Amino acid sequence: MGFNSVIFTFVPWESPPRSSQSIKVWLGYSRALLLSVLNAQILWTGLREEAITIALHLPDVSDMQSLNAIRQQILVFIYSRPINEGPIAVNQELEPLLISLSSSGCDNYMPYMDTILMPDGDCNFVCPGDSTELCGAGNRMVLYQNSAATPPSSSSCINWRGNWWNNILEAVPKTGGGSATRLYAIPTNPFTDPIYYTIISTCPAGCPYTDYYNFGLVDNVLNSYNSKPLVPNVGDSQSFIFQWPQTNPGYNGYCFKPNPNSPKGPFIGYPLLSASGNTDKWALCTNTTASNRLDIVYSPVANHAHYVKNNCVDVNIQVAPYA
C-alpha cells in the first residue's frame, strides 16, 4: 500500500521561535518547490503553537524506502530554503527548523496530539482516486480508520514517533466518571536551593505554580522543563530533580501507550502515560501534610506518612496537547 497522503510535522528549536508571519511566508514559497522537486501536492498546512504541519499527496511513493528518501529531501529543503519577505532579512536563509520529523501513512493509532477533530461538514473535496469519497478541503484532511483492523495493543508503547514535545498531563478516574484533572510540576523545596525537587500534583486555588504544566517525552525520559525524572518508587509521588549543571540523565522508563478507554474507539484518542511498563499504577491521593492537596502517587501503599491509601482514587494519566 502506498503513502498517498503523508503528514510531516516540524517543531522549531529557535528561541525565540520565528513569528507566525515568517513561517507562513516560508510555507507560501514551499508549494512550488515541493510540487516541482518532489512531485508532491500540498493538501493543507497548519500552524499551531510552535508546530508546522504539512500534508502532502505523494503519488510516486509506494514503500518506506521511498518515503524515507522524501524525508531526507524535505530535510535538505528546510535547511536551505531562502526567505525574502517578512521579518527575516532579504537573502537570509531560514535557520534550521527541525527537531522532529514524523510521518504517517498507514498507521494503527492517531493521538489527539497531532490533530484537532473538526466537523464532517468542513470537508467537501472529492478524493482524486475515488469520486465517491471525500478527502477534506483546502485546510482539512479526512482520516479514515479501518474498523476491521486489529486494534493496537494498549500494553505496547507508541513507537512510530520518537519524541513528544510540549504536552500536558491529565488525571482521569479509571471508573470513567468525573472530569480530567490537569496536573502540574509542584516544588517540594525552594527553587533557590542548589538542588530542588518537584512532583506531579494538582494546583488548587491559591497555588502559585499554574504555569508549570509542560511535560515532554524525549528518548523515553519524561522531562519537566529542565528537571529530570527519578525512578518512580512504589508508594511515592513521581519526583523530578533539578541541579545546575544538570548531570542527571533522568530515568528512561517512560512511554505513551494507546488509550483503551477512548470514546472514539481503539484507534484514536489521548495516549496514556506509562512508567516502568505500567499505565495502571497511578492514583490521586489526598496529601494530609500539604493542605489536602491531591498528589499523583505511583502504586499507593498502606500506612504512608502523607496519605491514606483507602482515600486514593485510581486514575489513568492521559497526554494532551500543550496549550
Q: In whole angstroms, how far apart are CA 34 and each of 52, 58, 96, 100?
A: 15, 10, 18, 19
Residue count of the chain, please give it. 323
Is the CATH number 2.80.10 carried by domain 164-321?
Answer: yes
Beta-carbon count within 10 A of 147 CB? 9
Instruction: Tell me whether the omega of the peptide bond preceding residue 300 falls within 30 degrees of 0, making it cis.
Output: no
What is the pLDDT, as a whole number, of residue 94?
34
Beta-carbon count within 10 A of 81 CB? 14
Question: How many Å separate Cα 71 from the centre of its chain?
Answer: 20
Residue indicated by cell numbers 517512560: 254
Q: Residue 242 is placed in which grid cell?
A: 533539578
- Encode 47-67: b = buried (16+ Cβ within 10 Å), e = exposed: eeebbbbbbbbbeebeeeeeb
Q: How far apart are CA 184 and CA 171, in angstroms?
A: 11
What is the pLDDT, as a whole number, of residue 13?
40
Q: How far apart are CA 108 and CA 269, in angstroms?
A: 12
Q: How far apart are CA 26 and CA 50, in angstroms?
A: 14
Q: How far apart are CA 51 and CA 323, in angstroms?
A: 12
Is the pTM of the predicted complex or chain greater than 0.85? no
Backbone dihedral angles phi then psi of residue 217, each to the nearest 5 degrees: -110, 110
Q: How far apart are CA 67 and CA 5, in angstroms?
A: 11
Contact 307, 260 (CB under 8 A): no
Report the run of H or E that residue 74 belongs to, with start and end: helix 64-80
Contact 145, 109 (CB under 8 A): no
What is the pLDDT, as a whole number, of residue 45?
54
Q: How far apart are CA 289 and CA 113, in angstroms?
A: 35
- The tens-digit pLDDT sequence of the chain (323 residues) is 344 555 555 544 444 445 555 555 555 555 555 665 566 655 555 554 445 556 566 655 555 566 666 666 665 555 454 444 333 332 333 333 333 334 444 567 878 755 567 788 888 888 766 778 887 777 777 777 777 888 889 999 988 777 888 899 999 999 877 789 999 999 999 988 999 999 999 999 999 999 999 999 999 999 998 899 999 999 999 999 999 988 999 999 999 999 998 887 888 889 999 999 999 999 999 999 999 999 999 999 999 999 999 999 999 999 998 87
Contact 307, 288 (CB under 8 A): yes
Q: What is the DSSP letter of 284?
A: E
Query: DSSP letters of 166-203?
Result: EEEEEEEETTS-S--EE-EEEESS-TTSSEEEEEEE--
Q: What is the DSSP letter of 73?
A: H
Q: How far apart are CA 317 and CA 261, in angstroms?
A: 12
- Which segments of the chain belong to CATH 2.80.10? 164-321
- Directed axis angle between helix 64-80 and helix 20-38, to 10°? 130
